[in-house]
Each structure stands twice: as structure tokens, then as C-alpha cells.
Amino acid sequence: MKDYCRRRRQGRNMTAPRGRIIGSSFFVSVMMMVMMFSGLVLVAESAIGVNWGTMSFHKLRPSTVVDLLKENNIQKVKLFEADPLVLKALMGSGIQVMVGIPNEMLATLSSSPAAADLWIRQNISTYIGKGGADIRYIAVGNEPFLTSYSGQFQSYVVPALVNLQQSLARANLAGYIKLVVPCNADAYEANVPSQGAFRPELTQIITQLVSFLNSNGSPFVVNIYPFLSLYESSDFPQDYAFFEGTTHPVIDGGNTYSNAFDGNFDTLVAALGKIGYGQMPIIIGEVGWPTDGAVGANLTAARVFNQGLINHVISNEGTPLRPGVPPMDVYLFSLLDEGAKSTLPGSFERHWGMFSFDGQAKYALNLGLGNKKLKNARNVQYLPSRWCVANPSRDLLDVANHMKLACTVADCTTLNYGGSCNGIGAKGNVSYAFNSYYQLQMQNEQSCNFDGLGVITFLDPSVGDCRFLVGVTDTSSSFRPYQRWVISWLLILWQFWAFRM
């Protein structure tokens, strides 16, 4: 059972600016003592969390996203970077946070204790304290041992951990905030779970990593993606990727595996056992199913997978090698679609969200957190209801370059094979591309020109499951809501008059 759920994540090198420090050092020290005590109790609790990525062309206000998390009773969130606006929005929310450090920062952090001190001060100490963010973990790198990285980050991981741990200690945070390293499932391999072992070239460094984690009370974090196993191999049994049973179970001695998640998890358990840490706590840092951009990536499959996963985890059934012991926490990937992500691994990379970019639930899902279905984001401010489409009175023979421009800048991945807009025809493809660019340009009239090949319409051109989006606008601008409403309608009336003329 080879299930090397390979995944390449394209991160951004972003350093958060310094913010104000919350509270006095004495208060922070007292708070950390209280948090350390409570952490001893909380560490045993298993919960469903989410990954909140921010690589989107149409970003919701962080406060809107935090409200969305709270509306859905989501108490744990994993971030890929220390975005100051996001961290500020999380302050006082009561949501537990895992803050990420991009791989590109590992070299600096590994070689400079001063750089580690500065990062902790700017991105952690600034946001904690009374009424602050409840930061529990720092993810040092993201899948740094991924095969496709060819070892470029490997030597930096442990030294960066050491420097950051010392920085946490100097900031009186080491007893509460834990360092972790999210690993991809291609770090280990086996034909059956019980034979699980880390890749030979990683055994030494993984042993050092796990020893460090264990000595500091940190769990092992792994990302598992059965979808990628199915996507990358035509021989992978489709039903084995889900949780409804399979006609292709994996028999491993006296154990039977009916789904890829359990098989992959136990392969890691066996690999940890082989280096002397068979009881290491495990957190699932990422797991999910995309809804668009590839064959098999659709709303139905995503709902079935995620609901099956959640039911499996909260049942406390565990796995054959860890019966009755589910992962410590499971962070679903992901909260929102991210239309600005790299599509190098596949077009589906932009469509992992349980919610669309505007915070609207894509499908019914019971997270097991109190609500029986997902609740939508509230008070989302949209641009006016207008779209840019192909001009019906113009010949579109010369449209190729315009489409290339639009789709280079905007997201057109739903037009690809297997996507939700793949079947809307040639003119529909042009309209979708034009509109994606137009909305990204905040509906600037000139952005729908395309040498006269585009035209603005007030009739929604969406077809079936193919949604022509309308962008969102940041309500934190200097315009008051009623001012924006008046201006928008004046523009609509003017363009309607001009179009009729």
C-alpha cells in the first residue's frame, strides 16, 4: 500500500512588521504560568480545526473570517505565516492558533539567534497577553522534507528549532507555545502500514527532529491527502480514498485497512516506532478534498470525504495500530478557496475551501462542533452585480491573446478539464476569463474593453454549477456603506444609459 500523498506548497516570504506589545512583562509571565497549567489539561483533547490560507485575489476582511470561525464554533486555526492583520483579528477571539514560518526563512533563523529573537518578538510576543491571540504552536517551515525540494531546507530545520526554542525561553513562552514541523506524507513509505519507515536519507534528521519534539512536549505534525494519491495514480482504488468501505482493503497481518487515511496514519505510527518513538502524539496538519479543477474534485466528493473523516475522528475509533486513540487534532484543508495559489501541482490547488472566497459554504457539512451545517460569513460587502462577458456582436477570432492576458492575471482554473466551467462552450470560456479579470480589477470599466471584445452586463451569466463571480470590496475603506451604495448605483445608471445609446 504505497500512499505517498505528495504535496508542494508555494509559500510567500513575508515578515510581519513590529506591532505594539500587549501588557507588561510581569503580566505576560503570570499569564504564561496560567496557560501552562491549562495546557496540561488541554493537550489531551482532540478537536477539528481548519487551515486559513490567505493567497486570494479577493480577500475578506480578517475580522469577517474570524467571525465566520466563531459562527461555526471552530476553536483551532492554522496559519501559514504571521500575517499581522490576521493575528490582530484573532486577538480576544479565544481561538487557538498555530502560526507558520515559511521555508524560505529557515536558513536565517537557523544561523542567527538574534533573528529568532526578533521573529518571536515581532510575531508572537506582540500579539499575546490579556485580550491577545491564543497562540499554541509555531509551525517551523511547511513540509521542508518534501521530495521535490531536493533537500534544500533539510539542514536548517533542527538548528532553527533550537534557536526558536531558546528565543521562546527568553520570552518566558517556552512552557506554553510548542514548536512543530509539518511534514508531508512522502517522508515515510511502506508496502503495508506495519512496515512503515522514514525515507533512508531522512532517517537521521527525522530522528533528531522527533527527539527534539519529544523533549519539549511537542507532537509530530503530518499532512495526509488521499485525494493526491487518487489524482496521481490511475491504479489507486477510488473507494479506498473515502470512509464508506472498500472492495480493495489492505490486509496487513491481522489488521485490515478500509481507507487510505488510516493506512497512511499507521504507516507513520510504524515509522515513528522504528526510531524509538512509537507513542509520539500526532496532529494532522492538513487533510481535505478539493471541489474543482480536476476530475474527481467536486462538491459531492469533498462533502463525502470531509464528513466521513470528521465522523471517523470524533468517533474515537482510532486506527488498527492506535485503537481508541484518534489524532490529537485534525486541521481541515481548508477554510477558504485561494485563487492566487500556484497551480503547479494542479488546478485543484485553488479550490480546497469548504467555503468559497467570499465565505459562503459550498456544501452541507457537520463539523461535530455543535452546528449541523456550515454557516455563511455575514455582512460580506460585494461589488455591484455586474459582469464582463464576450460581446455577442463581435467576431471572437482574435480573442486568444486577450484570454491569455486575463487568465495569466486572474483565476481561470475552473475552465480546465474536470472543472465546473469546462463545459460552457468557447464563448462561455471567453466570458468567464473576461469576467474573472474584470472583477479582479474591481470592475474598472476599461478592464472590460479587450479591444471591444468585452461588454458589461447586468444579467448573471452563471450556468449550472459554473459560477461567474462578483468580487468583494474592503469595507474598511474611507467610504461609508451608504456612500458606496450611491456611487455604485450612479455608475450602473450611467453605464445603462451609455449602453442604450
> Does residue 286 have an active-site annotation?
yes
Rounded CA gap, 133 and 91, in Å?
Answer: 4
45, 81, 104, 143: the active-site residue? 143
Rounded CA gap, 306 and 321, in Å?
Answer: 22
Q: Grid coordinates representing 30?
A: 503570570
* CA-wise closest residue to 301 among 290, 314, 286, 287: 290
* Phi–psi pair at 357, nearest 5 degrees: -55, -25
Bridge partners (DSSP) listed for residue 478: none
* CA-wise closest residue to 269 among 204, 218, 326: 326
Q: Grid coordinates representing 499?
A: 449602453
CA of 68: how far to CAs of 137, 302, 388, 472, in Å?
Answer: 22, 20, 30, 16
* CA-wise closest residue to 330 among 283, 372, 261, 294: 283
* CA-wise closest residue to 211 among 158, 152, 265: 158
CA of 411: how far to CAs of 48, 403, 487, in Å?
Answer: 30, 11, 27
71, 104, 286, 338: the active-site residue? 286
Rounded CA gap, 254 and 248, in Å?
Answer: 16
Other beta carbons within 10 angstroms of residue 294's beta carbon come to 21
* Phi–psi pair at 252, nearest 5 degrees: -130, 90
> Does residue 143 have an active-site annotation?
yes
Q: Grid coordinates representing 111?
A: 544561523
Q: Grid coordinates representing 461?
A: 451569466
What is the end-to-end Cα distance of the chain in Å, rounded? 67
Q: Is the dihedral of CA 16, 20, 26, 30 positive or negative?
A: negative
Rounded CA gap, 415 and 440, in Å?
Answer: 17
Task: Report the relative pairing of strands 76-79 and 47-52 from DSSP bridges.
Answer: parallel
Q: Is the dihedral of CA 249, 255, 259, 263 positive or negative?
A: negative
Q: What is the largest CA-CA distance in the chain?
A: 79
Do 396 and 428 touch, CB atoms closer than 8 A?
no
- Which residues are tagged catalytic? 143, 286
